[in-house]
Amino acid sequence: MSYTTWSFVALIFAAVLLYYLLPKRIRWTVLLCASVIFYAAGGGWYLPFIAATVITTHIAARAISKMASRAEEYISLHREDMSKEERKAYKAKEKGRRCAVLVAVLVLNFGILAVMKYTGFTLNAVNGLLSAFGRGVTVPVPDLLLPLGISFYTFRATGYIIDVYRGKTEAEKNIFRYALFVSFFPLVLQGPISRHSKLAPQLFEGNSLRRENITAGIFRILWGYFKKVAIADTALVGVRAVISGEGFTGMYALYLIIMYSVVIYGDFTGGIDITMGVARLFGIRLEENFKRPFSSRSTQEYWNRWHITMGSWFTDYLFYPMSVSKPMGRLTKRCRTRLGKGIGMRLPVYLATLITWYLTGLWHGAGWNFIVWGLINGVIILVSRELEPLYAKFHKKFPSLDTQKGAYGVFCAVRTFLLMGSVRILDCYGDVPRTFASFGSIFYRFDTWKDLFNGSIITNLGVGVWQYVFLAAATLVVFFVTRRERDELACDKLSRKPVLWAVACTALIFVIVIFGSYGIGFDSNQFIYNQF
């Protein structure tokens, strides 16, 4: 069930109505039923996969929690009989047992994700190698369908069990309540990857009906549809034409960098706005996933503002544990001895950074383009860090140049936007050599610029002048609204101003209905991040 179908609208309407009609203590069951319906509507065969994740992580979390309590109980009972060393040894042994359970369930769940998502890619790579070495054999590649939202719910569930193992969150006793945390329907398709400690209390609280939640939720949903259906899907027409057309290089590659940024921003942030708005209708506030990413002055800053919950997941559950792991400690020691303190200290961190970005790329999709995308992001961040002393010198020499203000601030934001956009086109083409060839053509295919001025770009790409005018106007509206969201979200501000709220909602509905790219001839059902 996609966000852009009437059945989704009907599901939300029915769920909200039932939620507030039922007694508070059982309101969460409405959310669970809605989540099951939402998931089953996407294809009944998906259910066993998400059920497997729910069951295995629930059992493991309960086991880890019980083992930890038993160990604590045992120590408190035998505190007098055990020496400090014995207690330490017992704790280590118990931790090892809990760790074994954790590792087993992580291997199982990441295994399911790996098999379903990466089998085809891996076997195709094997076949490529076999062919390169002249072997006349090919391994058959099974055509596996990816379960709906598997990357998102696997991360949510594994994040939860790691938190339980670390003692950061309590293990949920009721499997159905836990099933709701994993499958909460607004989060299934594209996140955010919420943490149990923040989401679960809101899910089970039985929130009261509050006017500001309903008004803020409605506005945020409409705002999301506006960004997705009116902006992203309109810009997508030109993007698709460049990708599928022949010879659209040079100026067209630059067009792609800019327009695909508009598409992915509208599509992903629009989808997240709808998610946030739907959750808000039930009184649930999810963590923000975006904080004006295109105003970032550096790559590092960009990744702190874009898909925030994914970034923090990788940081908390991969980068930090890897950086402080024993093997990395040994490597640091060895590098420091052999390469000196400076580079010896940095090298392991850089290795952890590159591994994290490699896996971030792989998480986005099973393809070389995603792997290269991840690695390039990692390299850019590392190069930026290496150049930091140079930046510092530069700013010392030109103290008036402030990255947060004035023309230099705009320059930094535009530079980051173009840099990130250039890397992002790996996602468009899905083909690494073609992406590099297209990007490179910007610097020598100057003949293509004439198409911008003689009107050929309009006929070649199928996006009319008025559509560009609309896109420019709509993008400006988004720009100014998000600029004013620094302190408080627009939906929260408007929920206190009923007249303005009603006018804004009316205007948004009108614009979505008239200017939205939906219906015959459009394919607005698919959100780009659904595929991840």
Among 118, 121, 436, 522, binds another protein (CB under 8 A): 522
Among 333, 513, 525, 531, binds another protein (CB under 8 A): 513
Q: Name the one residue in this structure whose structure tokens are 């590099």.
A: 436
Q: What is the DSSP string of 290-315?
A: -S-GGG-SSHHHHHHHSSHHHHHHHI
Nearest distance in Å: CB 239, another protein: 17
CA distance 235 to 467: 9
Residue 6, CA distances (Å) to 12, 362, 369, 505, 518 in order: 10, 33, 34, 18, 12
The widest CA-to-CA distance across the chain, in whole angstroms, is 89
Nearest distance in Å: CB 56, another protein: 39
Q: What is the DSSP letter of 383?
A: H
**Three-state SS for 409?**
helix
Q: Specify the amino acid at residue 343.
A: I
**Three-state SS for 151?**
helix
**Toward another protein, which CB reaches closer, 327 or 519?**
519
Per rule CB under 8 A, is residue 328 in the interface with another protein? no
Q: Helix 251-281 vs helix 465-483: angle between axes, to the nearest 10 degrees?
A: 50
Per rule CB under 8 A, is residue 145 in the interface with another protein? no
CA distance 172 to 59: 10
Q: Specify the amino acid at residue 57.
A: T
Among 135, 503, 525, 531, binds another protein (CB under 8 A): 503
Residue 525, CA distances (Å) to 8, 225, 233, 423, 529 in order: 11, 11, 10, 26, 12
Per rule CB under 8 A, is residue 8 in the interface with another protein? no
Q: Name the one residue in this structure whose structure tokens are 């409405």.
A: 30
Per rule CB under 8 A, is residue 213 in the interface with another protein? no
For the window 193-212, what string marks contact with another protein as x by the rule CB under 8 A?
------------------x-
Per rule CB under 8 A, is residue 9 in the interface with another protein? no
Q: How many residues does the chain have?
A: 532
Token pair of 400, please? 């008036």
H or E element in which residue 418 lies? helix 406-429
Interacting stretch for another protein, rule CB under 8 A, among 11-19, 357-365, 402-410, 520-528? 520-528
Q: Name the one residue in this structure whose structure tokens are 């705002």.
A: 223
Interacting stretch for another protein, rule CB under 8 A, among 132-140, 390-398, 400-408, 516-524? 516-524
Among 386, 388, 509, 526, binds another protein (CB under 8 A): 509
Nearest distance in Å: CB 499, another protein: 4
**Toward another protein, which CB reaches closer, 216 or 442?**
216
Per rule CB under 8 A, is residue 464 in the interface with another protein? yes
Among 185, 370, 429, 501, binds another protein (CB under 8 A): 501
Interacting stretch for another protein, rule CB under 8 A, among 330-338, 392-400, 410-418, 495-503? 495-503
Per rule CB under 8 A, is residue 502 in the interface with another protein? yes
Name the residues that contact another protein, by CB under 8 A: 6, 211, 215, 464, 466-467, 470, 498-499, 501-503, 505-506, 509-510, 513-522
